[in-house]
Amino acid sequence: MKKPELLAPAGDLEKLKIAIIYGADAVFIGGKEFSLRSKASNFTMDDIKEAVTFAHLHHARVHITVNVYPHNEDLEGLEQYLIDLDSANVDAIIVSSPFIIATAKRLNCHFELHLSTQQSIANVEAINFWADLGINRVVLAREETIEEIEKIKESTNVPIEVFIHGGMCSGFSGRCTLSNYLTLRDANRGGCAHSCRWYYDLYTNSQLLSSSDKPFRIGSKDLMAFESLKDLIDLGTDSLKIEGRMKSIHYVASIVSSYRYFIDYYYDHPDCDIDALVKECIDMARKAENRDTSTGFLKGQVTSDGGLYENGDEIPPQDFIGIVCGHHEGLTLIEQRNYFQINQKIEIIQPHQEATIATIKAMYDINMTPIEVATHAMDQIYIDLQGYYPDYAIIRKAE
């Protein structure tokens, strides 16, 4: 059995480090130019260099999203940007525009070229078209079933990347201009306003068919693929991709951990009780996942179960208290994210380990003055956990 790459999103350097430490084999990040998800923090070239250095030290790969469809006025600066990425020693770029592909080939860039899901590639003939042009990997459209992905794998040697978790376009990615039309934000240049998640009225001629308490919706639940993960691994999927460069470090750590755990456990115990493993991993992921989820198209045509229809689809996750950033005389220093009090029961998650339950017995501000409550996000606070927890351990309120 081949272990697939686990590919995680990173909106900034901190998230990148978290993703890698928590088990991602590769991360994808956006630069300041030519990248979708413009609201993600995105990386300067110096950040990219630091990211690559950190990732390579940890034997992880860095993929850069260069996946816009540029308009004529956006083409300027492309060559230098690709040259700079090559100098930064990135491992791959994720790309949609054939001109960007051709430019990278002409410049003899060393990085791999991964075709973005924005090209909505859904069959092996389309894969082969791009493979002939030198594409090293194809990110499949999210409309494929397990059966179809298996047929694709049987028909091509081109490495295949499949989305397993996160937000999903309701339509074919790259083929949507709802955002452009409704808000003048270009979805294919990083400005998507997620108009497919809005509320609509449905009419036939002038007769209203929907109602205020049952608005017409076209949006998709997020993807969560644990139920199909064994099949994706068995059929030889080369890379499993988590979406969400704008998500928090708590989310990145929790979701990466849960998929890392599944892949490693199944690899080591191929005859294990899969249903139990799936349930365990869903429970792990649910502590950080605040959206309704489905398996998308992996099990077949999306039914009403895969759509967003009612309010309240975002369930509050367990409160993320902070992240460990140092130690002093037996105390743990954390950078705070949410309000908490002394005697708070907490859950501590660490890379490659089961979560630990503990109670905050004492806490001090940065000047070692005892405090009872922590109220300000980003403050640094010492807490007494009667144990050692390494940097980047994530602390959240226990249920």
Partner 1 sequence: MKIVTTPYDISDLDILNHADAYIVGNSHYAVRLAHSFTIQEIHDIIDKGHLLGKEVYISINKIFVQNELEELKTYLNAIEQYNPDGIIFADLGVLNLAKKANIVSKLIYNPETLIVNYQDMNFYLAQGIKAVIISKEVTLENLKICGEKANGNVGILGHGYYHLFYSKRKLIKNYFDYYHVSSEDYISNYSMYIKEHTRPEMFHIYQDENGTSIMSSSALSSLEYIRDIAASGISFMIIDGIFEDINYLSVMVDSYYVVLNNNKKITTDYFALMYPDHKYDSGYFFKKISIRK
- Using CB under 8 A as the binding rule, the residues of this chain from 86 to 115 that contact partner 1 are 96-99, 102
Which residues make Cβ contacts (< 8 Å) with residue 354, sequence separation at least 6? none
Q: What is each CA distance from 342 to 349, 362, 380, in whole angstroms?
A: 19, 6, 15
Contact stretch for partner 1 (CB under 8 A) within 16-24, 184-192, 322-330, 346-354: 184-192
Give 33 or 379: the residue with its C-beta nearer to partner 1. Answer: 33
User: Minimum Å distance from CB 273 to partner 1?
Assistant: 31
CB 244 within 8 A of CB 234: no
Q: Does 368 contact partner 1 by CB under 8 A?
A: no
Contact stretch for partner 1 (CB under 8 A) within 84-92, 181-189, 329-337, 342-350: 181-189
Q: Does 136 contact partner 1 by CB under 8 A?
A: no
Among 13, 49, 171, 274, binds partner 1 (CB under 8 A): 171
User: Minimum Å distance from CB 235 to partner 1?
Assistant: 12
Contact stretch for partner 1 (CB under 8 A) within 17-25, 137-145, 235-243, 332-340: 137-145
Query: In this structure, which amino acid lies at residue 181?
Result: Y
Among 12, 38, 84, 282, binds partner 1 (CB under 8 A): 38
User: Minimum Å distance from CB 85 to partner 1?
Assistant: 19
Contact stretch for partner 1 (CB under 8 A) within 201-209, 283-291, 327-335, 359-367: 201-209
- CA atoms within 13 A of residue 230's CA, in its CB half-sphere: 16
Which residues make Cβ contacts (< 8 Å) with residue 366, sequence separation at least 6? 379, 380, 381, 382
User: Minimum Å distance from CB 178 to partner 1?
Assistant: 5
Among 54, 129, 265, 364, binds partner 1 (CB under 8 A): 129
For residue 256 the two structure tokens come to: 């990466």
Give the x-and-dash track for 244-263 against partner 1 (CB under 8 A).
Answer: --------------------
- Using CB under 8 A as the binding rule, the residues of this chain from 44 to 73 that contact partner 1 are 68-73
> 30-52 in b/e burial notation, b at 16+ Cβ within 10 A?
bbebbbbbeebbbbeeebbbbbb
Other C-beta atoms lying within 10 Å of the C-beta of residue 330: 11
User: Minimum Å distance from CB 202 to partner 1?
Assistant: 6
CB 232 within 8 A of CB 225: yes
Which residue do the tokens 């890392």 mark? 260
Give 189 or 396: the residue with its C-beta nearer to partner 1. Answer: 189
Strand-pairing partners, residue 223, are: 166, 294
Give 209 or 315: the residue with its C-beta nearer to partner 1. Answer: 209
Among 13, 83, 109, 126, binds partner 1 (CB under 8 A): 126
From the CA atom positions of the chain, what is the Rg in Å?
Answer: 22
User: Minimum Å distance from CB 154 to partner 1?
Assistant: 10
For residue 86 the two structure tokens come to: 């090559």
Give the rounded distance of the alpha carbon of 323 from its chain centre: 19
Task: Name the DSSP letter for residue 209.
Answer: -
Residue 257 sits at φ, ψ, to 5 deg, of -55, -45
CB 49 within 8 A of CB 88: yes
Strand-pairing partners, residue 346, are: 358, 397
Among 41, 67, 188, 237, binds partner 1 (CB under 8 A): 188
User: Minimum Å distance from CB 243 to partner 1?
Assistant: 18
Contact stretch for partner 1 (CB under 8 A) within 11-19, 44-52, 210-218, 367-375: 210-218
Give 102 or 357: the residue with its C-beta nearer to partner 1. Answer: 102
- Using CB under 8 A as the binding rule, the residues of this chain from 265 to 324 that contact partner 1 are 297, 301-304, 306-307, 309
Q: Measured between alpha carbons, how far is 395 from 398 in angstroms, rounded to an integer?
A: 9
Among 29, 90, 160, 196, binds partner 1 (CB under 8 A): 196
For residue 367 the two structure tokens come to: 């000047």
Residue 87 sits at φ, ψ, to 5 deg, of -65, -30
Q: Does 157 contact partner 1 by CB under 8 A?
A: no
